[in-house]
Each structure stands twice: as structure tokens, then as C-alpha cells.
Chain A
């Protein structure tokens, strides 16, 4: 049986949450296969990451090079191609890095490719059965993937529950010398940090989050009033930023901010995964949406089918009432 590799994304010497999730995904593919982590990077940070993975993975393949200090997918792909054995199954998180690396990697490895997998049903000889979503999460699909010549699979962050480290004593295998000197037609220059904006949504315990359902720039004020009444902040999903109704600093999602509030009110948000990916820490999620079939209702704790343009002002009034009563 081919090796299963988990590509580990890391920052500042610490593996990303996806490392443990990929472990779970790998187990779903083949509960008995020996699992290997592959980590690229440079310096002591890389070493710390590899150490921390030893309890989880039988082998941790370390690929260290100065050129890989920044995770440039173009360079990393070249390195991986040199190192990975034929017919490998490689799991990568479906984040901005995975989107960048995985498709091209599958071509260079001559492997099959399937992305944004939310469920793995198992391996039947050389057919991997997986579950994906399409149309913004409105439908799911069963897919089968021929992995006889290997596969590259990107896994949706959060789709697989992190597995605790099995507590094995894995070995770090240094593969750095096998990659040669990779060069690529794309060179990293710098990272431009997003502007701070007037409100830091990552610091608020309660977020009133609005989506396309707010319909109009003027209606944003309705959400702001509720936020004011509750001492909360207004955040939003991508379409609201694209329409320029709020600045980018208010966006929650994979390409926006990651928030860890206590309470998250999702108003008029459909629940596309890119948005949900920005919500961590398992907050209490209340979803209000006109469409009873909105995917958000799968992930919310409490759901209300109603028109947010009418619901929110009434909610605001009620909150104000409560405050004025308690103030007396």
C-alpha cells in the first residue's frame, strides 16, 4: 500500500491545527497505514516543528533549505517532487497554500487530484471514496478517485476532527540533501499586513456578522445599532467587502480575519465554508436567515428563519428595553 503523507503547514515553529486534522483524514483513508509527515522550512523553527510531530507520525520527513524559509509553493513543489516516492497519497490542507501547491503537485507526481474534501469514506483497492461539496455548500457529492498512481488530496480545514497524538515515537528523517537547489519562476518579495481598520473584530466577545442578506449599504447601520446596544462589533462575510459596504478589516473568513468570539450572530450569511473557516474556538453560533435551506443552519447552534431587516431592529429594541429596565 502506498505511503500516505501529510503536508504540515507551520508558523513560528508550531504546526498549524491542520496537522492534527490531516492525521485524522489519513486514518480514514487507511487505518493501518504507516503515516508520514513531510515538513519544509528552514532553521530551528523547522526543527521544533519536526520534534513536535514525533508523537503523531511514524516518520517525519524534514526538508530544510534556506530557499524554503518562506513557504513558496513553487519551490516547495519542486522539492517535494524530488523526495516523494511514486504512488504516494499526499494530504494538504485546503487553504491558500494548499490551493497554490496541490494541483501542480499532482501533475508533477503523475497523481490524481481531488480538493476541498469534507469526508473520506475509505479505500477500496485503488479507489478512494470521498465526499465534497459544490455550489457553495448547497449540495454534496460522492466522488471516487483512482489512486493507483498516487493522489494529492486537499482537505477542508475543520472538516476532520483533530486526533490526539497516538503517542508513538516517530523518527525525524532528514531529506534536505535530496532536493538539490530548487529554483522557480516565482520569487517571494514580502508580506504586506492588512490595514488595522477602526475596529479589531478579533478582540470582541460578541460579533454581529452580516452577509449578502443585508442587501444594501444603508442597512449596515441596522447591524451597527444592534452591535452598539449589545456592546458588540459588526463583522461580515466576503460579499459585503466585495460590494464595499464594509472594509476588509471586518471580514471573517479564510481570506479575512480569524475570530474566536463567545457569541457569533450570523445574519443573512449563507454559510459558505470560506467564511466559517474564520470562526474558531467553537463559539455559540446563532444564525438568522430568510432561506431555511441555508448551509449555515448545519453549523449553527440555534437557527431562526426570518428576515434580518425586520428581525434585527426588533432585537435591538428588545435589548435596549432590557438595558433601560435593568438601569432603573
Chain B
């Protein structure tokens, strides 16, 4: 018995002698880490204010869903599952890691709450966790080396790939797991020899395997392994801890905060300056982001938190079209800038302009604000606000592409980007045949109604899109809605104006429209334009609730008020293209589909990229005027996707999608083979009516006359 005690003491005495060494490792490691984190916090302190401390319960909800629940990860199956396993492993092993570290100083340390039976169960789980993480690391390394996904690649213009760095980190984590397992295995293997109760190692786990391998080793070797693996573990742990803040692995620490502080309000853009109301904006000296320090602290945190996974750029339509924009590199370039200008030692930051240095103008103007990047990012990194802020900065400097200056000026003077006269905004209602079956009233002091149909600029002025307005009016009429339009009193919703950075002009348009809406006395707004829908719902304040016409139609279908005639051409295959601002930003996916499915005989297929993975058509509003440098138009790519899905009719629910898609059909050479129709136009065509329908041919002829003047 004395012998046992002596042997045990012998084992632990190594540790006790090494206590000082271990203690100093701890102190050094923690001190280093603390210093590094403190330096990393400097740019956050210098950054702009951001309002993220409210709505705690909603934030906790996000934390649970996206951090703990890893909700977004499975969108990329292999990587997602891999990450979930590693993440779960890390969580489980967190306690164990601390325990192991402290054991070096206080040998009998047991984590509170993990003693006894709980402790045993915990140990079983941790054995498997370590094994799992270890295996995942091996798999990840092989994947990186042998079949790396395309989205990890770094195009030359953006710098070098970090492959070696990635493999180094993966290896380190594997080593950490190995060290931990060796430590446990050595102890477990020594215990029979020491005559002590053998601690359990889980069957088939890594420690178990190693224990068996160590079974016949002499106790001195085991002691060496025990001690060596402890130091290896400590070193690896602290090295990783201090190395992570220098690269993409920092997300291990920052992800929790980044997700907790994530943006809660979908669909809207951050104010120019948090805490500064619209009325006081003229006191703000500089609008937008011009230097790094103009970003808010949350945006800087975003830059730290990027794991360089490439999912955002993989889904970015601008990137796919060959435009200079790639969201992933927007973030990594900013992160590199932060690391470079806020070094560990030496003077920090110097406020150099970002545009023209790490970012190019075209890069920032290329974004259509479709939101695919934000939808994809597992860390909930925000892009749209940053791009809008960068645009605000450029606008503030007068740095606007010439092609955008004309429509912006027209918006200011005429309230629409085409420069057309205000009084012509309601001309679409005057089409002769249409007027006879569906007179539309203009609201104002003289006449009021329940519902306002907010047509917005393109639907009002564009010859092609006016048909969407007429179809919407006819549908509302069929449903017996009491509605009217604002006519000349309506100005552009300003949705794109805001997203292009012209905040002051946006506010002017918003205030004008808000006043007009209030003056009309309506209780509800309906629109056929998802951009207007989004603006009225999220950017405007104090306006009546707004619905998109697809929702109105879906309600009508459900209630039975809307019944459709069967489709005439049975060979047509339809596919629905989710507009970004109806689908992704406002999650209205099912209503349009329900409407389509209610049309008897309509064959519908889904494109592989649909719903929240829908591929932007090319953008709306001012984006129609911008001339980007690109390889292939987004619209053309989308039309090809429709053809691949086997469709020959694309149904969309947005006038801008219609412009881009109809144009793309021509450019792609698919004229005659593919056509596009708006949901409300299709509904209008198929609605079963009691009264005689509009004579289509006569109406078209009249349309032709209106356009050509003959």
C-alpha cells in the first residue's frame, strides 16, 4: 500500500515540480491573450456608435438559434455538418480543457458540478468529443488538400490563399485533441501499474485506443508521456488562444458576441448616425464611411468574425456576373486593414480613405443589395449597411458615376428617375379600353378610399410595366376593393435612392409621400412593387400597413373570392422567380406559389436556386441606370437557370425583375423560346370573371397606338 502511494505521489510529483512551470505558462498565456484582445478592442473603441444593447430577449433568441443551434450551417451540407460536429465538440470540451489546465496547478482540481457521477458521464462524453474533433480535423485537412470547394479559392487580385495557414490551424487543433487524449491515456494506462482505480476511457475513443497502445509501457515512459502531453496540451491551447485573434479563427471567440449583437430589423438600412435623429442630421459633418474609423464597432466586430468560408461570395450574384464585388473580400480586406493599422505594437490607425485604397468605387457600386450574402453567413455578418454607408461617403464627396447623376437629379426635380412630368404619373389609368372597365380614382382632398395602390415610378411610367399597374387595378376591382392612387402627388418611394447612399434625397421623398398618404385618408396600402413594399414597410414610419399584391391574391385564393380559369396552353412550363425584396428580405415565398398552384392545369417547376437562395435578376431602381463592368448579366444567368429547370415561362412579382428578365431573354437569344409574365398579369388573365373580359386584341392595338402615336 505504501508502495502504491509512493508511485502515485511519484506521478503527481512530476506535476508538482512542474507546477511553477505550468503556472507560468498559464500566467503568460492569459496575459498574452489579454493584451492581444485589448489591442484588438482599440479600433472598436475608436469606431462609431452602434445601437445594439436593446431587445435582450430577441438577441438571446438569435444567440440560441444561430450560435448554439448553428442554424445556418447545414445550408452547405458537408461543411455545415463538419462544423456542427466540431462546434459541439468544442463546447463539450471547454470544461475539460479548463480542468486539465488547472490540474497542472492544483492536482486534484475538479470542475464544480462535474464531480462524482456527473463527472463520470462527462468524461465519457468528452472522450468521444475529443475523438470526434480529432477525426473531423483529419477529414478537414484531407478535404483542404484533396477536394477543396471552389468557394475557398482566392482570385489573384484579392491576394493569396491561406491554405497553409488553414492546414496549420487544423493540425494544431488535432494536436490539441491528441495531447489531451495522450494525457488521459497515459494516466489511465499507468493506473493499473500504480494499483489505483482505473479511470474509465470510453470504448473506441481516442484515449481508449491510446491506452491500449500504452498498456505495456513502463511507468517511467508513461510518466514522460503524461508530463509531455500535458505541456503539449498547454502550449497548444495557449498558442491557439493567442494565435486565433490574428486570423479567421478569431471567430471562435467573437462569434458569440457577433451573433448576439446581430441586426434585428430586417429590410431597413441603419441611420446615418445612431442616436442622431433626422432633424439633427445637418449637424453631422460627414456622412457615410470614408475612413475605417467611420464604421461602427459592430461592423469592426464583423470584420473580426469572418471565418473566410466564402459562402457569401458563392451566392453573390454580382460576383457570379463577374463584377468587381465579392463580399467575402470586402470583409477580409477590411480585417487585414484593421490588423495592419492597429498593430500589436506601435502606433494605431491613421484614417486613410478606404475608397481608392482597399476598395474600388465600382466594387461598392456593384451591389444590388439583394441580401444573398447576409442570408448565407453563419456568423450573421452584415453587408448591406456597410455598402450603403460606403456609398453615403462617396455621395458626400460628390463622387458619383455620371450615369447615376442624371436619374438622381431627375428624382430630385421630378420625383422619378426618368425625368418625366409629374402629371403623367397617372397616365396609365387613361388607356381607353382599360378606363372603361376599370376607372381608377385619384385620391386627395376630394376623394378618399380604404386602400391606396402605391404604383411607384417604373410601374407608372414605363410603357411595359404599366400593364402591371392595370392588372393590379383590375384584380383589386374584382375583389371589390375600395382603392385609389395618389397620381401626380406620388413620388418615387426612394427605396433605391436610400440604398445608393443619397439619404437626404430619400428623406425628402419619404416625407413627401408620407404626407400625401396621410392626406389621402387611406387605412391600407397595396403595391405590386416589392421595392416600394419594402420601403413602405421598413423605411417609412407612421404609414398604414402595406401588402404586396401577391399576398392579396393569396388571401383571395384562400377565401375563395379568386377563382381561376384553367390555363390554355397546357404545354407551357412555369417557374416562379423570387424577387429579392419580396422573398429574401420579406420572406414572402409561399403566397405567390399558392396563387400559381391555384390555377388549374398550370405546370410549375422550381429552379435549383429558389426561395431564400433565389438569384438576383440584376437589381432595381437606380441600378437600372448604372453601367457595371461585368462578364455576363445577372438576368441572363437567371434566365438560363429557368431554362435548365425546364421552364419556358418565368413568373415574377416585381417590375424590375420583369425589365431585367425580359431584357435578358433577348440578350440570351431565347426570344420566342422563353417568356416572362408578372404574377398579377397572369392572375388578371386567368381570373374567372362574371362580366365580359377586356378584349385583349383590341386592347393591345390600342396600346400600340398609345406608344407609337399612330
Contact = CB atoms under 8 A, between A and B. Distances in A.
Interface in A169-214: none
Contacts of B403: 243
Interface string B425-445: 000000000000000000000
A243 B708 contact: no
B666 interface: yes
Interface string A246-270: 0000000000000000000000000
Interface string B656-670: 000000000010000
B150 interface: no
Interface string B679-710: 00000000000000000000000000001111
Interface string A212-249: 00001110000000000000000000000001100000
B402 A243 contact: yes
Q: Summarize A's interface: helix, strand, loop or mixed.
A: loop
Interface residues of A, number: 11
Nearest to B671: A313
A243 B627 CA distance: 11
A43 interface: no
A234 B627 CA distance: 20
A305 B709 CA distance: 7
B627 A313 contact: no
B709 A292 contact: yes
Contacts of B463: 307
B259 to A, nearest CB: 41
Contacts of A218: 627
A313 B666 contact: yes
A30 interface: no
A216 B463 CA distance: 17
Contact of B710 (A217, A305, A313): A305
Interface residues of B, number: 9
A16 to B, nearest CB: 35
A217 B666 CA distance: 16
Contact of A216 (B627, B666, B707, B708): B627
B79 to A, nearest CB: 37
A307 B707 contact: yes
Contacts of B402: 243-244
Interface in B452-477: 463
Contacts of A217: 627
A146 interface: no
A74 interface: no
A218 B463 CA distance: 20
Interface string B625-647: 00100000000000000000000
A156 B403 CA distance: 32
A244 B402 CA distance: 10
B633 to A, nearest CB: 8
Interface string B87-109: 00000000000000000000000
B708 A306 contact: yes
B247 to A, nearest CB: 41
Nearest to A306: B708
Contacts of B666: 313
Nearest to B402: A243
Interface in A270-314: 290, 292, 305-307, 313
A224 to B, nearest CB: 13
A243 B709 CA distance: 29
B705 to A, nearest CB: 11
Interface of A: 216-218, 243-244, 290, 292, 305-307, 313
Interface of B: 402-403, 463, 627, 666, 707-710
12 contacts: A217-B627, A218-B627, A243-B402, A243-B403, A244-B402, A290-B707, A305-B708, A305-B709, A306-B708, A307-B463, A307-B708, A313-B666
Given A243-B402, A305-B710, A307-B708, 9 more contacts: A216-B627, A217-B627, A218-B627, A244-B402, A290-B707, A292-B709, A305-B708, A305-B709, A307-B463
Closest 5 CB pairs of A and B: A292-B709, A217-B627, A305-B709, A305-B708, A306-B708
